[in-house]
Chains A and B, each alone.
Chain A
C-alpha cells in the first residue's frame, strides 16, 4: 500500500504571499498524482493531475510539480478565494488514496 502524507497540516499566510504545499508518497508513483481544493461545505475541485497538468479553469497562479515520491503545489500569490483545504491523491493503485490535507488559512 502506498501512503501519501502532506505537510504542513496548516499553513498560515497573508493574501499576496506565496504558498508551498508538500505531498509525499511512501513509494514512487511516477507522475500519477492529483491535487484538489476544497472550501467548507463544497465538493472538492480538481486542480492538477499528472502532477503538473492543470485542470480546466485553474488559474495560472497555481502550479504543480514533482515526480516519484515528492510533489509540490505552489500558489504564487494568495487570493482570498484560495484559503481552503488542499488534498493530494496518488492514483497508481486502487483505491487511489487521498492525503490528509493541508489547510491554508488567513494569518
Chain B
C-alpha cells in the first residue's frame, strides 16, 4: 500500500527556520516525483515545487522559488520542505503528494498534511 506520512504540526515564531518531512512507503521512492502543495486557511491549493528523487531534479513554482528549499534523501525514502526564515504568511497546511508517472503535477497519493502555525 502506497503511503506518504508527514511530520507533525509545528508552531514557530516569525524569523525561525523549519524543515518538515514526508516519508514514502509501499513503492519505489526513486521512481516517482514528489511535490509540495500549500493550502492556506480556508483557501485553495497552490503548487510549491516538485522533486524527482531518482536524480534530485527540482522544479519550483515561480511564486515559491527562493522562498523555500525542496530536497529528498532517497536512502530513507523521505522528501523535505524547508524555510530559513518563516513569515506569518507562511501559516498553512502543507501537503506532500506523489505524482502519477509521466504526468508531472497530478498527484495520485497525498500525505496527511502538516499544519504550520507562525505567530509571535
Contacts and interface: CB of A to CB of B under 8 A. Distances in A.
Tier of interface size on chain B: 20 to 34
A62 interface: no
B105 A91 contact: yes
A55 interface: yes
B47 A43 contact: no
A43 B110 contact: yes
Contacts of B110: 43-45
Given A49-B103, A94-B61, A95-B61, A87 B108 contact: no
B31 to A, nearest CB: 17
Contact of A34 (B59, B106, B111): B106
Interface stretch (A11-19, A66-74, A96-104): A96-104
Interface of B: 44-47, 59, 61-63, 95, 97, 100, 103-108, 110-113
Q: Which 9 A-B pairs have CB atoms at the shortest separation, nearest pair first?
A: A96-B105, A43-B110, A95-B47, A95-B61, A98-B45, A91-B105, A34-B106, A46-B108, A49-B106
Interface of A: 34, 36, 43-46, 49, 55-56, 87, 89, 91, 94-101
